Chains A and B, each alone.
Chain A
Amino acid sequence: DIVMTQSPDSLAVSLGERAAINCKSSRTVLYNSDKRNYLAWYQQKPGQPPKLLIYWASTRESGVPDRFSGSGSGTDFTLTISSLQAEDVAIYYCQQYYTAPPHTFGQGTKVEIK
């Protein structure tokens, strides 16, 4: 199974500042035939299910604010919040869907306000 490792486990960022979350996969999630990275990012707030933010590593889901962006390729990926808002306090998870299931998740990164 592909292991997904996120860093840091938590971070505190001032309002309006940039937050960056890293996700590393134990092997590539870049599919050579279509040149797509099979990597998604989710946001989860307390008491709610995860919400899809980004898929194909960098495609923003409809309705997601453009302060959220995804980057990276192969085994190393980053979710960036360009200007942190109060409503962005949440836990963020990456997930690979490169192989047949299991589609493994990272352990999560908790984002708080400094």
Chain B
Amino acid sequence: EVQLVESGGGLAQPGGSLRLSCAASGFTFSSYNMNWVRQAPGKGPEWVAFLSSSSTTIYYADSVKGRFTVSRDNAKNSLYLQMNSLRVEDTAIYYCAREGDSGYNAYWGQGTLVTVSS
């Protein structure tokens, strides 16, 4: 069974940092592209970052470019999101998601809540 478990969310001050983790199991992690998708309270999902299976290709949403860094450790079956210079508008549930055979998100974790507030 595919499982994705996010952790690392919490309360951060504007300008602060957080590092999110996503532990994957139930599939060959190194074979799949991964995404971070966030959802602000009462809003729809917003794609945040993409990382290819071998970490050779990375994309970021314009809203986080230069502030967030996505990475993975295939030996540890883990995906990460380093979030710096946090803003109030980064407040959201952050999901990691595994792609299917193309860019759709076939599996999602339960998410971790990030709150940016002073």
Q: Which residues of A contact B (CB under 8 A)?
A: 38, 40, 42, 44, 48-52, 55, 61, 91, 93, 95, 97, 100-108
Cβ B106 vs Cβ A61 within 8 A: yes
Q: How many residues of B contact A (CB 8 A)?
A: 21
Q: Which residues of B contact A (CB under 8 A)?
A: 35, 44-47, 50, 59, 61-62, 95, 100, 102-111
Cβ B102 vs Cβ A108 within 8 A: no
Apart from A102-B61, A103-B103: 16 A-B pairs, beta carbons within 8 A? A42-B45, A42-B105, A44-B45, A48-B110, A49-B95, A49-B111, A50-B105, A52-B100, A52-B106, A93-B45, A95-B105, A97-B102, A101-B35, A103-B50, A104-B47, A106-B44
C-alpha gap A61/B105 in the complex (Å): 11
B95 smallest CB distance to A (angstroms): 5
Considering the complex, give the chain B residue whose CB is closest to the CB of A51.
B108
Contact of B105 among A48, A52, A104, A108 (CB under 8 A): A52
C-alpha gap A40/B108 in the complex (Å): 14
Contact of A50 among B62, B103, B108 (CB under 8 A): B108
